[in-house]
Structure 1
Amino acid sequence: MAKKGVLLVNLGTPDSAATPDVRKYLNEFLMDGRVIDINPVSRALLVRGVITPFRAPKSAKLYKEIWSAETGSPLLYYSVRQQELLQKRLGDEYMVELAMRYQTPSIEAALDRLKAALVEDIRVIALFPQYASASTGSVYEKVMRLVGQWPTIPNISFINSFHDNPLMIEAFAQNAQKHQPEQFDHVLFSFHGLPQRQLVKCDHTHNHCLKSADCCQTLTDVNKFCYSAQSYDTARLIAQKMGLKKEQYTVCFQSRLGSDPWVQPYTSVVIEDLAKQGKKKLLVFCPAFVADCLETVYEVSVEYDGEFKQHGGEHVQLVESLNDNPLFIDALEGMVKNR
């Protein structure tokens, strides 16, 4: 009997924490027209001439802080674990492959393995809970471009987003319980940032995005594909699962790059404000990530913790990502089978 194919795709990670590998990764990542959505010539000059020559050595130092001699990149390690656990869960009827949008294992190689196995269809799941053109959109564009070159194209289906998946929400809330949430003064839901212009591009009505201060805070038919609106919805659902009131948590956005305005409020600003208000202990979720990575393990646990202490706070506690939580594997299984 023909197998069903499953392709899990995460963002990517350098092959090592060495500067040349980090530079190679950053070049591929930032040269994607959906990531830095400007004129291709300007993008090449900016990325290869300005960003990567300066950013690669700095990023390499940070990657060395989170790199394990035994398991390497945490993002790759947990992505492999997710693939292995999902394969075990689905059984021999399915073939589960893992790829990274940038670097290895590549999408092209994973698709070639599925093609060689003569799978009858392929379910593609980009491992980003909230849809963004620069992440999910880029993955699906790449998959369609590659498969579009095949002489015979199997049935292919995609998951646009899973920001409100009940099992994922429960897994995040479960991960928080080990830290005794009631012991913290405030909870942050810190999502990866995006330039505001990318949000505006996703507003097909051209009459909603950033037209009001609260345009993203309720999910509607107009903003249902908006990364920021989906982020607020994810935070609302996790907070609801934990029994948090609105005044007990804040949604914010981290990891901004460059001088253009990004989605606000910025996590660094929120952390400073909370410290000045006298908050001492913060519990921080990063629900844009399904596997721990540089942005969670280092940016939150080290950089934001340090900034918080500088302004009078005492401790920033990261809620671990979904990683190999069985509830998340349950969620992935449901996404595969509920076709």
Structure 2
Amino acid sequence: MAKGVILLNLGSPDSTDPKDVRTYLDEFLSDPRVLDINPIVRTIILKLFILPTRPKQSAEAYSKVWTGEGSPLIVTSYQQQELVKEKVDLPIYLAMRYGNPSTASIVSEMKKDGIDDLLIIPLYPHYAMSSYESAVVELMEQLDKHGMAKIKTTLVQPFYKDDDYIEALWESIRPHYEGTGAHLMMSYHGIPERQVKKSDPSHAHCLTTNKCCDTPHPAHATCYRHQCFATSYALMAKAGIHHDDVTISFQSRLLKDPWLKPYTDFEIERLAKEGVKKLRVICPAFITDCLETLEEIAMEGKEEFLEHGGEDFELIPCLNTHPAWINWLAKRIETWQNA
């Protein structure tokens, strides 16, 4: 059998031109797993309220983080792909859920290469219908459309508390945090509360009590909130960081529905007002630095912290191309390859 590996990530506009940003946002927000509301209402909101104004605003934000080579997320993802290729003797493909390289184009490439045994690695540590699930569903639909529905597939499950992943995460954080005396914020990408409830197969556990994430339940296999907390607790245990020295929060809200709390921007302001002078922020939901980390946290978050009395703020980079992360990917692939 012809084995191959595909890495799946979110995606980015092709450029900072508002037209390209509009195309990207249209595809992204048309996804029923992202804006999971009545399709007619979704279309009205998207076409009449979001797309007429948001692309220009987002284009300005993207322009602040854009590199000479292009989107930070895309550039770094390609670097990850090349570094993994150096360690394993297999075809390594990279596809984005939205934008380019599109999942459809990469599936077409795999078909030409004769791949019939595929390892799927969504680059999301945590399960969420708007990220992990959406990327996997899109891949499966494209495999079907390209006549590859019957190939053998192996899917890497969310690795939010995998020991080697936690070790890699700590190794990437340690040089920026250890010995600084700073408070540590773990800011995860937010999702609407309704999506947490939808992902609960029992429809009777998630968000029903304040302690739902700490009470063992089958729903945790698909509960984004539980998995974020599990990553935080595992990392604190690994690094020997006391809970009082950590704040866990959620960023990036859209529309007016309730999202997971506490909100990162509110917490940054609160910490500064309460006298925290040094703050280090990590974003464990992201494997690769992107708009949400480089602009929303490193720029806007820093400005907010300093404005309210903080003095020393730093965004700790995502795993990106850290050797420990590349080794994690290579080890997963080699284990599958040799099974």
Q: TM-score, normalised on structure 1?
A: 0.95
Q: Give the match for residue 57 of structure 2.
A: 58
Provide closer, same or farther for how the CA distance between residues 328 and 267 of structure 1 changes in structure 2, counting only shifts above 3 A. same
SS of 1:124's partner is strand
Letter of the aligned partner of 1:83 in structure 2?
Q
SS of 2:280's partner is strand
Which of residues 121, 125, 131 is equivalent to 1:125?
121
Measured in 2, the distance between the counterparts of 1:313 and 1:219 equals 38
Q: Give the match for residue 323 of structure 2.
A: 326
Letter of the aligned partner of 2:272 in structure 1?
A
Measured in 2, the distance between the counterparts of 1:219 and 1:306 equals 39
Measured in 2, the distance between the counterparts of 1:176 and 1:218 equals 29
Q: Give the match for residue 229 of structure 2.
A: 232
Is 1:263 the counterpart of 2:260 in the alignment? yes
Between stretches 46-55 and 58-67, larger displacement belongs to: 46-55
Q: Give the match for residue 201 of structure 1.
A: 198
Q: Deviations over 1:266-319 (max 9, x none)?
A: 111111111121001111110011111111111111101111112111132111
Shift of 1:224: 2.4
Structure 2 unaligned regions, length at least 5: none
Shift of 1:22: 0.8
Structure 1 unaligned regions, length at least 5: none
Which of residues 186, 207, 218 is equivalent to 1:210?
207
Shift of 1:221: 2.9
Please show how residues 1-339 of structure 1 align to structure 2 within 5 Å: 2-69=1-68, 71-91=69-89, 94-152=90-148, 153-217=150-214, 220-339=217-336
Q: Deviations over 1:139-173 (max 9, x none)?
A: 11111112123445210121231112223222221
Letter of the aligned partner of 1:242 in structure 2?
A
SS of 1:175's partner is helix
Provide closer, same or farther for how the CA distance between residues 186 and 110 of structure 1 changes in structure 2, counting only shifts above 3 A. same
CA contact (8 A) 1:219 1:230 kept: no
Measured in 2, the distance between the counterparts of 1:176 and 1:247 equals 18
CA contact (8 A) 1:10 1:100 kept: yes
Q: Deviations over 1:179-220 (max 9, x none)?
A: 243323311110000000000001111211111112224664
Provide closer, same or farther for how the CA distance between residues 257 and 321 of structure 1 changes in structure 2, counting only shifts above 3 A. same
Measured in 2, the distance between the counterparts of 1:140 and 1:64 equals 29
Shift of 1:84: 0.9
Between stretches 185-194 and 205-214, larger displacement belongs to: 205-214
CA contact (8 A) 2:168 2:328 kept: no
- Give the ranges of 4+ consecutive aligned residues of structure 1 lying more than 4 Å apart after TM superposition: 217-220
Provide closer, same or farther for how the CA distance between residues 133 and 62 of structure 1 changes in structure 2, counting only shifts above 3 A. same
Measured in 2, the distance between the counterparts of 1:219 and 1:325 equals 33
Provide closer, same or farther for how the CA distance between residues 21 and 231 of structure 1 changes in structure 2, counting only shifts above 3 A. same
CA contact (8 A) 1:13 1:75 kept: yes
Q: Deviations over 1:196-252 (max 9, x none)?
A: 000000111121111111222466433221011101111111222221011111111
CA contact (8 A) 1:6 1:95 kept: yes
The size of the alignment, in residue pairs, is 335
Shift of 1:14: 0.5
Q: CA RMSD in A?
A: 1.5
Letter of the aligned partner of 1:19 in structure 2?
P
Letter of the aligned partner of 2:37 in structure 1?
I
Measured in 1, the distance between the counterparts of 2:194 and 2:58 equals 25
Between stretches 116-125 and 131-140, larger displacement belongs to: 116-125
Measured in 1, the distance between the counterparts of 2:143 and 2:233 equals 37
CA contact (8 A) 1:129 1:161 kept: yes
Q: Deviations over 1:19-40 (max 9, x none)?
A: 1111111110000000000111
Letter of the aligned partner of 2:100 in structure 1?
T
Measured in 2, the distance between the counterparts of 1:180 and 1:150 equals 47
